């Protein structure tokens, strides 16, 4: 199981550092219902990652993701496809990065967060974690690592709990700052929001590049070994 957890860490970090949900969390923490909405947002995020992972692992089991403890050949082809897709995303994100000093416009839906209710906060978090295409690529990659390791159901559950916890660090960090720093949290969170908003595309480009190259390397080694 240790090898599987080690293999899924880059994908979990990729989900954790996704800038858009972090910015959304920060914006919710300056609303009147910050405490409730923040907690529900984290809960919705956890449910999204956990549910998608459970579905993917359930689908992978019957298809033989592991043959006698060794990864099935199709898992390497899946890694190759995911790697290529992540490289394409990396190129697109890098080209879309803002010029130094340029003002970065926020997505229109973020302007609606002032009056957001707790159920909508949870639904938004679920959508950003489970339905966002970039996050979904990372989640599929992490699930593939767990599925191909030939683990028991119990060990798969433990491995995915580890993935979910790490993947939640990004959106949970602003909430921890909010509760721990008191009045000082506002300036810290504002700085975090500005940095993440301006460096959104660059962060995702680097993450997708690194993980995409790793996936392609693993796939090539596995297919032609």
Half-sphere exposure of 161 (CA within 13 A, CB side): 7
pLDDT at 66: 56
Q: By the 8 A CB rule, do 146 and 9 touch? A: no
pLDDT at 69: 55
Assign 70 to helix, strand or coil. strand
- 68, pLDDT greater than 60: no
Domain holding 119, by residue range, is: 2-223
Q: By the 8 A CB rule, do 174 and 25 touch? A: yes
State both tokens at 103.
């003002």
The mean pLDDT of 180-188, rounded to a whole number, is: 83
State both tokens at 11.
């994908």
Residue where the block lists tokens 């909010």:
178
pLDDT tens profile 146-162 = 888 778 888 899 999 99
- Band of pLDDT at residue 61, cut at 50, 70 and 90: low
Q: How many CB atoms lie within 10 A of CB 184?
A: 10
pLDDT tens profile 88-125 = 989 988 887 777 666 666 677 777 777 788 899 999 99
The mean pLDDT of 38-64, rounded to a whole number, is: 87
The total number of structural domains in the chain stands at: 1
Distance (Å, whole) CA 7 – CA 13: 11
DSSP for 72-138 reads -HHHHHHHHHHHHHHHHHHHHHHHTPPPTT---PPPGGGGGGGG--HHHHHHHHHIIIII-HHHHHH
Residue where the block lists tokens 């290529």:
84
């Amino acid at each position: 199981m240790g090898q599987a957890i080690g293999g899924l860490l880059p994908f979990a970090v990729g989900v954790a550092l996704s800038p858009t949900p972090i910015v959304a969390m920060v914006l919710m923490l300056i609303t009147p219902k910050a405490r409730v909405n923040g907690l529900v947002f984290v809960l919705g995020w956890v449910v999204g990652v956990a549910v998608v992972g459970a579905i993917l692992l359930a689908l992978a089991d019957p298809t033989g993701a592991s043959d006698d403890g060794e990864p099935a050949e199709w898992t390497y082809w899946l890694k190759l496809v995911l790697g290529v897709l992540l490289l394409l995303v990396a190129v697109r994100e890098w080209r879309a990065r803002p010029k130094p000093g340029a003002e970065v416009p926020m997505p229109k839906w973020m302007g609606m967060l002032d009056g957001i209710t707790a159920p909508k906060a949870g639904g938004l978090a679920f959508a950003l974690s489970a339905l966002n295409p970039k996050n979904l690529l990372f989640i599929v990659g992490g699930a593939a690592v767990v599925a191909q390791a030939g683990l028991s159901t119990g060990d798969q559950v433990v491995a995915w709990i580890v993935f979910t916890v790490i993947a939640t660090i990004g959106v949970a960090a602003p909430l921890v700052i909010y509760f721990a720093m008191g009045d000082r949290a506002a300036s810290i969170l504002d700085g975090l929001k500005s940095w993440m908003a301006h460096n959104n595309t660059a962060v995702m480009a680097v993450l997708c590049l690194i993980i995409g190259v790793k996936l392609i390397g693993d796939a090539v080694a596995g297919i032609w070994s």
